Structure 1
Amino acid sequence: MENAMITELIQKEDIYQYKIINAPVDHSIDLKAKLQNALRLGNEFKSKSSITFMTQDGPKRIETTVWSLTDKYLQIKGGILLPLNSLIAIDY
C-alpha cells in the first residue's frame, strides 16, 4: 500500500480542521481484517492504532483507539467518524 507516503501526524481532536476525501484507491476491503483487529485492540485492551487517511490537504495520520466499526465508517473517541473509503493504512 501507500505506507511509504510521508504523512503528517495530527491530533484526533484536529480532524475537524480537515476535509476528508476518498483515498486514491479504496482500501476498505483490504483493510477489513486490520480494522476488526484495531477494534478489538481498542475495546478489549485500550490499545491505540495508527490510522492514515486522505484529506484535501494530503494524507494525515492519527494515533487513537477504534471505538466501533460499521460498513462505511470507523468511529473514534468523541463520536468522530472516518469514512472507510478515506483510509490508506491501519497499523498497531
Structure 2
Amino acid sequence: MIEPVIIKKEDIKNFRFPKEDVLPNESDIKSREKALANALSLGNLEHGKVKLIFLDLGMNPYQIETTIWALTDESICLKGDLLLPKRAVLDIV
C-alpha cells in the first residue's frame, strides 16, 4: 500500500469520498466496526487519539490523528462537527 499523506482533521471537509466501501469483504468491515467501537471508548474514557487511514474519491490514502466523539451507522463524528464516512476508512491505528 502507498504511504498515506498525513493531513489535519479539519481538512477532511474538503474531500469527496468513494460511494462504495473501500474494504473488500464483510469480515474486514466487521473488524473495522469493532476497531471503531474500541476507538470511541478510548476517546470517551481516556480522551485518547487514534490514527484513521482513509481513501478519497480518487482512491488516494490519507491519515488523520483524532479523537472519535461518536459513531452513526454511516459516519464517524469528530470534534468540530466533522464527519468521515465509515466506508472510506481503511484502517484504525
Common fold: TM-score over 0.5:
yes
Distance 2:31 2:2 in 1: 18
Distance 1:24 1:34 in 2: 16
Equivalent residue number for residue 25 of structure 1: 23
Moved more, 15-24 or 81-90: 15-24
Say which SS state the counterpart of residue 31 (structure 1) adopts. Answer: helix
User: Post-superposition shift, 1:28?
Assistant: 3.2
Distance 2:87 2:56 in 1: 11
Equivalent residue number for residue 13 of structure 2: 16
Distance 2:74 2:30 in 1: 11
TM-score normalized by the length of structure 2 = 0.84
* 2:22–2:87 CA contact under 8 A, matched in 1: no
User: Post-superposition shift, 1:20?
Assistant: 2.0
Change (3 A) 1:87 1:51: same
Distance 1:82 1:65 in 2: 12
TM-score normalized by the length of structure 1 = 0.84
Percent identity, please. Answer: 33
* 2:12–2:84 CA contact under 8 A, matched in 1: no
Moved more, 67-76 or 13-22: 13-22
RMSD: 1.6
Distance 1:66 1:74 in 2: 7
User: Post-superposition shift, 1:24?
Assistant: 3.4
**Structure 1 ranges of 4+ moved more than 3 A:** none
